[in-house]
Amino acid sequence: MANKNIALFWPGDYRDKPNEWALPGVEGVTRQLENALKKLGYSPYRVEGFISKPHQSIEKLGPIDDPVIGVCTHWLYGPHTTDGVVGKDTPLLLASNFSGQWPGLVGLLNTGACLESVNRKFSRVWTDAGDWTTDEDFMSRLDEWCSTGSISYPEVDLSYQANVSPEAAVIAKSVEEGIRSRRVLALMFGDTSMGMINGYFGPRLLNPIGFTEHKVDQAWLIDRGRDVTDRRIEDAYRFVVENGVEFHYRETGAEDFDENATKEQLRDYLTALDLIDEFKADCLGWQYQLGLIKLRPPSDFAEGLLNSVCRPESNGDTIATATEADQGNLVPMEMMKRLLKAKGLHQAVMFHDVRWGAEHDGRFIWLLLNSGSSGAYAFNHDSETLRGVHSYRQPSGYFPTPGGTFAGESLPGEITWARAYIKEDELWMDIGVGEVVKLPPDVRDEWWNGTTREWPFMAADLGIGQETLMAHYLSNHVAVAYGDIFQEMVALSAALGFKIRLLGVR
């Protein structure tokens, strides 16, 4: 690029506290990025302050005609970049740390998917080096962007077709016919959370693939929740206790987390069941954050139950539930659930964040860690119990109203994983295979404690390394199922009209 001036900006969280906590790290990373750019002969300057609302993105980034770099070093919202750069073609780079404690990589992946969904070109770069200027790969890629306005990455782990056996094709066809005969109805409690525009597809994209949505305002949870009887709540609480959930009440830093908090979470769970029954919905997208954050306890415990067969007032099925109302996970979760059942496998599909990863025992292991939407099956491989589920108070800095998570250590086993997303105004499906691994206790605890200990933990070989996922993946979320339904998922996705991309599978 002929222009030597480069603007650096800080996309942030909507909430002041997370930005305040992250500030020292963001300052340090920004100085390193400035040093790296100066070493390459460029003149960086800062856009003042965190961008914590969409209008700030429009007002601060919109007028800039210089190349821009978003510094991604903690939780952040997609619109705090997207809304200020959409419609422009100035070179745009998302630069991230690679840290589990300060998950800038999560923000980079989500923001990148948001940009892709609105056809805004961008590049991405990351490093886990203490001194960014010492990472030769990072410096080379940064130089490539500074020189050309973009960064290209190898695509050796990407492919776009796979062989499907006759047996897999028959299973996929039976599931497709079921969807075509009665389209899937997704009940949506609000829109996507935290501005995750990449996770909202809407009827124009959902209807051709055999899905549709019905939105219910989250305020209905409060209104309808008043009609849930104390008897139902007490029965539900007795059920989860008797079936093995271990509650970590009144622990240090969680003194306000008690039985009443869980019972209020069960009130919301039962309200969700009633709404699902009223609208005869097949699956559920649950926004929760941020709209009810000061009014109701966290939705995670309810979401974990819905993604479990063993749950109060169960009909013998899971109800595939995507936190943050993310249709990019909800759609493959429902598809995978139906394929698992058709193949005689357990139907639970787990919802996870791609939080961090590292080399272990000769391969790259991804730490998948969501706030609590994983079903109990991941922790016990027994559809008849909730043993292995732990409920910790959600961290109060993010969740002021007390309520618990639905957490545990995921057991080893082979997995199929998937993610739907928007690219060039069409729906795509990423599909891969892998394995959940059991880490040595000291490694597991180091990784878990270095991220968010209260959340469900899955250590997974996704069949791809750090570079492939960071360079090409279009979300911070992933849907994970135990068992091999890879060929069936390929066939079903193609039949429903998705474009297909396979990661790490030949």
pLDDT at 345: 98
R_g (Cα) of the chain, nearest Å: 22
Euclidean distance between CA atoms 177 and 170, whole angstroms? 11
pLDDT at 194: 81
- In tens digits, what is the pLDDT along the chain, a chain of 506 residues? 677 999 999 999 998 988 999 999 999 999 999 999 999 999 999 999 999 999 999 999 999 999 999 999 998 999 999 999 999 999 999 999 999 888 999 999 999 999 999 999 999 999 999 899 999 999 999 999 999 999 999 999 999 999 999 999 999 999 999 999 999 999 999 888 888 999 999 999 999 999 999 999 999 999 999 999 999 999 999 999 999 999 999 999 999 999 999 999 999 999 999 999 999 999 999 998 777 888 999 999 999 999 999 999 999 999 999 999 999 999 999 999 999 999 999 999 999 999 999 999 999 999 999 988 899 999 999 999 999 999 999 999 889 999 999 999 999 999 999 999 999 999 999 999 999 999 999 999 999 999 999 999 999 999 999 999 999 999 999 999 999 999 999 999 999 999 999 999 76
pLDDT at 1: 66
Q: Which residue has the tokens 């922790």?
A: 379
pLDDT at 506: 66
Euclidean distance between CA atoms 318 and 329, whole angstroms? 15
| 73, 3 Cβ separation under 8 angstroms | no
Which three-class secondary structure state does DSSP give residue 6? strand
Sequence-ordered strand ranges (E) for 319-443: 321-323, 349-360, 363-368, 390-391, 413-423, 426-436
Euclidean distance between CA atoms 394 and 134, whole angstroms? 37
Residue 232, burial from CB neighbour count under 10 angstroms (0-12, 13-18, 19+): middle
Q: Which two tokens stand for residue 460?
A: 């997974």
pLDDT at 193: 85
Could you tell me which residues come within 8 angstroms of residue 273 by beta carbon, excluding any fewer than 6 positions away?
313
- Chain centroid to CA 457: 14
| 151, 161 Cβ separation under 8 angstroms | no
Q: How far is CA 377 from CA 130, 313, 341, 452, in A?
A: 38, 17, 14, 21
Euclidean distance between CA atoms 109 and 102, whole angstroms? 14
Measured CA angle at 17 (ends 15, 18), to 5 deg: 75
> Strand 426-436 relative to strand 363-368: parallel, antiparallel, unpaired?
unpaired
Could you tell me which residues come within 8 angstroms of residue 242 by beta carbon, excluding any fewer than 6 positions away?
none
In the chain, the domains with their CATH numbers are 5-148 (3.40.50.1070), 166-503 (3.20.14.10)
Q: Which of 461, 490, 506, 466 is nearest to 100 (CA)?
A: 466
Residue 294, burial from CB neighbour count under 10 angstroms (0-12, 13-18, 19+): exposed
* Residues linked to residue 321 through DSSP beta bridges, in sequence order: 284
Residue type, 465: G
**What sign has the CA pseudo-torsion 193, 197, 198, 203?**
positive
